Structure 1
Amino acid sequence: MKRKISIYFLVVILMFQFTTLTFAKETVSNSASSAIVMDVKSGRILYQKNIYEKKPMASTTKIMTALLGIEKSKLDKEVKISKKAVGVEGSSIYLGYDEKVKMKDLLYGLMLRSGNDSATAIAIELAGSVEKFAQLMNQRAKEIGAKNTNFVNPHGLHDENHYTTAYDLALISREALRNKDFKEIVKTKLWIADREGYKHFYNKNKTLSQYEGGDGVKTGYTKASGRCLVTSATRGGMQLVCVVLNDYNWFEDSYRLLDDAFNRYEPFCMMKKDGVIQTASVENGKKKNTKIVGKEDVILPLTKEEQKKIMMILKVNEKIQAPIKRGQKIGKARIYLNNQLIYTTDLVFREDIECKNIKDKILDYFSNSNQF
């Protein structure tokens, strides 16, 4: 029998030490009850403080509401506002009963002005009620890996059963920031809605103007939760997300945490999209060989010392049969640091290769015959 799978080991740098990954914990003083800094690309934790403690999250709840709004509705869809979405307690974009508002405008009102009425309108539009929408929120949270989170509403008004952890909220924010529409919304400083009356939505998140590379995400506050903030920033192709919960010094602490991470870690390119990884032979194809390439840019946050210890292992199919298609998956690259898996990505074919036809096989036959 032919072996279908073989493993090829590509050692990027030979120094590979069997130690445990260490993350910064208290290197930066801050007043947050819980805090985390996470790399958006890889999910690697760069700072942590009480990241698994369950806490109320206030309006940072709306990150999940916005993600579901984008995933489950067309942005240009008109939403008819119900009575239950009018006059909701707290921040508002002043929706009117029976008013028709595009989903896009509701999302901008949700994330820039923190409209609780907008959150309620989105929930009712997508699920029929706040309660049913909370079920969707919890289902999506579990899919993302946020196992210690429970939503009971789409806006974050206090409820004893409405909570998250810094780690879970970072996971949810990371998932949202990988969505191009969400990413565009939260980095917008001003949005003019297509409606009468209150339509100029200025972003409450000072990160966009105060912090170099700041591009998100959401503020939140209730008396029970204290000040909660999710910030994101991108420098040198590396995007980080920072979560602080119950932090009276929320913006300043977030900036210090992000500064520390950007100073200690550098964006290290492990793989370029369409960059050639290796050559593979093709059976029964019009071409005998093809290139295996990376599916995406893989840029990881690493310290200078860690860059000396990184290793990549490739696992690809040994026997490749035509036909093949450009972008078709052929294997995986697994990246390890100190014997710990930190990232996995797909390897793909760079080109289309068709099967040999009868004419090709006849030419091959005579070509091989002439060699004797």
Structure 2
Amino acid sequence: MKKILVITLILIIVLNLTQITYADTLSIPAETAVLIDAKTGNVLYNKNMDKQMYPASTTKIMTAILALEKTDLDNIVTVDSKTPYETQQGDSSHIALRPGERLTMRDLLHALLIESANDAAVVIARYISGSVEDFSKLMNEKAKEIGAKNTHFTNPNGLPDENHTTTAYDLAIMAKYAMEKQTFREIVSKYKYSISKTNKQPIRYLKSANRLLYGVGASNQINVNGNYVDIKYDGVNGIKTGYTFAAQNCLVSSAKQGNKDLIAVVLHCQGRNVYIATHKLLNYGFENFESKKIAFKREFIENIKVEHGDMPYVTGIIGKDLYINIPKGRDEDVKRNIVLGEKIQAPIKENQVLGKVEYSLDDEILGTTNIVSATNINMKPIYKVVNNTNDSIFKKWWFWIIIIFILWRVFIMYRRYKKKKLRRKKRYNIYNNY
């Protein structure tokens, strides 16, 4: 028995060490990196993912998010007089917008995300907020809202600013949020686009710098773990490149193979290492994790006690299917934890959320799904009468007049009582003095 126990413990330690060693020996040629499950946001690999970094043009992911949420794609935007002269200097990426030029927001978004146009970013910012400063405030508010808490933006395009910083993890969270928007997904999956002739410029042809989408052939080869492969990666469907001297090469990528969706972020890479690092991360995710359907819609969880109901229990079921990425061979180790609301009280409607189920591995939550009611539960008649009375009576003006009158009468009676008590005390004192 002791031998079996010792062997079991050794196997557990070896398996865990194997997993950790494999992750640690990826040798990602980036200063910071992270790989997440695009469905759940769970971290599958990280290298300094919370370190403050310059994001360069990956900033434009947030600019696009706000444009999609605050404008209509068919809106006509007129280029202001300042933006072209501020954003088209030196080697800044741009599409040569002209003062007074009119384009649709759809075309500006394609220029932003495919050509990485800095002038398009500023035009979008001023169209939405009136100024770059005010738009930057919106960017920071949105970042916090979606969970990117270590981010501070000062402009919409990522041009150098020592206060314009984020982290690999925050960029992954922003990318996950953005990829949930169909229009964003459609744009970043393209590597070519043409903007029709405008009132100021002829037709423009845009091309993405993201070679993960199209880089094949002898001039697009990289060495990944001793093997020369095309930069183009099977299943990649976006997202955004970036480069400044301070930030070096940055890349946020999304890829799908089968039912597995991954997002990889690599920051501060030298040259083509940006693609090597991304290949290594995506290979690691696809080769070492498997997507499992861990919860099934309408799966029975338990009968839950109901207060004030015409039935003592309500059937709790899973609200929707849940898929999570699990290290291969460890699906049996996933644990389930049921968390119910503090007070389950009638009336309850069918599909009303009653709590949640958390699925975890090694004390890390991999995913959650809601527990919902399988049926309607009505309130007991007696509670219904009281509840309806309470709901309606408090809204009547005369009810509050009565309450005030009662309180006034109680106050008057109390004062009379105090006076009467005081008179009795005086008479008592006079009597005793005699």
TM (norm. structure 2) is: 0.70
Among 328, 332, 337, the alignment partner of 2:352 is: 328
User: What's the secondary structure of 2:264's corresponding residue?
Assistant: strand
Report the CA distance between 1:96 and its aligned residue: 2.2
- Alignment identity in percent? 35
CA–CA distance in 1 between the matches of 2:203 and 2:51?
A: 39
Flag structure 1 segments of 5+ consecutive residues without an equivalent: 1-16, 359-372
Change (3 A) 1:323 1:216: same
User: What's the secondary structure of 1:31's corresponding residue?
Assistant: coil
Opposite residue 349 of structure 2, the aligned amino acid is I
Among 245, 250, 264, the alignment partner of 2:274 is: 250
Report the CA distance between 1:133 and its aligned residue: 0.8
Answer whether contact 1:276 1:291 (CA < 8 A) is retained.
no
CA–CA distance in 1 between the matches of 2:244 and 2:141?
A: 25
Answer whether contact 1:94 1:198 (CA < 8 A) is retained.
no
Change (3 A) 1:234 1:78: same
Opposite residue 212 of structure 2, the aligned amino acid is T
Answer whether contact 2:29 2:276 (CA < 8 A) is retained.
no
Report the CA distance between 1:113 and its aligned residue: 0.7
- 1:107 matched to 2:105? The reply is no
Partner of 2:300: 277
Per-residue deviation, residues 187-219 of structure 1 (Å, max 9, x unmatched): 123333354324433332222231111011100
Opposite residue 276 of structure 1, the aligned amino acid is E
Answer whether contact 2:301 2:318 (CA < 8 A) is retained.
no
CA–CA distance in 1 between the matches of 2:204 and 2:303?
A: 57
Opposite residue 105 of structure 1, the aligned amino acid is D
Change (3 A) 1:72 1:265: same
Report the CA distance between 1:119 and its aligned residue: 0.3
TM (norm. structure 1) is: 0.81
- 1:226 matched to 2:248? The reply is yes
Report the CA distance between 1:182 and its aligned residue: 1.7
CA–CA distance in 1 between the matches of 2:114 and 2:310?
A: 57
Per-residue deviation, residues 156-198 of structure 1 (Å, max 9, x unmatched): 1111111112122112212222222222221123333354324
Opposite residue 266 of structure 2, the aligned amino acid is V
Partner of 1:348: 372
Per-residue deviation, residues 271-311 of structure 1 (Å, max 9, x unmatched): 23x342347589549xx998644334321111134312101
CA–CA distance in 2 between the matches of 1:275 and 1:333?
A: 13
Which stretch of structure 1 is more off in the superposition, 157-166 or 213-222? 157-166
Partner of 2:318: 294
Change (3 A) 1:32 1:334: same
Partner of 2:228: none
- 1:171 matched to 2:193? The reply is no
Number of equivalenced pairs: 336
Partner of 1:189: 191
Opposite residue 245 of structure 1, the aligned amino acid is L
Q: CA RMSD, aligned part only?
A: 2.9
Q: Where do residues 29-40 of structure 1 align in structure 2 (5 Å cutoff)? A: 29-40=27-38
User: What's the secondary structure of 2:269's corresponding residue?
Assistant: coil
User: What's the secondary structure of 1:110's corresponding residue?
Assistant: helix
Answer whether contact 1:113 1:201 (CA < 8 A) is retained.
yes
Partner of 1:216: 238
Q: Where do residues 1-372 of structure 1 align in structure 2 (5 Å cutoff)? A: 25-87=23-85, 88-89=87-88, 90-196=92-198, 197-209=202-214, 210-248=232-270, 249-272=273-296, 274-278=297-301, 283-284=309-310, 292-316=316-340, 321-322=346-347, 324-325=349-350, 327-349=351-373, 353=376
User: What's the secondary structure of 2:234's corresponding residue?
Assistant: coil
Answer whether contact 2:251 2:265 (CA < 8 A) is retained.
yes
Per-residue deviation, residues 21-58 of structure 1 (Å, max 9, x unmatched): 98665221232111111111121111111222212111
Answer whether contact 2:115 2:207 (CA < 8 A) is retained.
yes
Change (3 A) 1:138 1:307: same
Per-residue deviation, residues 106-156 of structure 1 (Å, max 9, x unmatched): 111100110101100110011111111111111112222222221111001
Opposite residue 234 of structure 2, the aligned amino acid is E
Answer whether contact 1:279 1:289 (CA < 8 A) is retained.
no
CA–CA distance in 2 between the matches of 1:316 and 1:147?
A: 28
Answer whether contact 2:32 2:267 (CA < 8 A) is retained.
yes
Opposite residue 191 of structure 2, the aligned amino acid is K
CA–CA distance in 2 between the matches of 1:333 and 1:78?
A: 46
Change (3 A) 1:127 1:355: same
Change (3 A) 1:355 1:49: closer
Answer whether contact 1:332 1:346 (CA < 8 A) is retained.
yes
Q: Which has the higher contact order (CA 8 A, sep 6+)?
A: 1
Answer whether contact 1:93 1:198 (CA < 8 A) is retained.
no
User: What's the secondary structure of 2:328's corresponding residue?
Assistant: coil
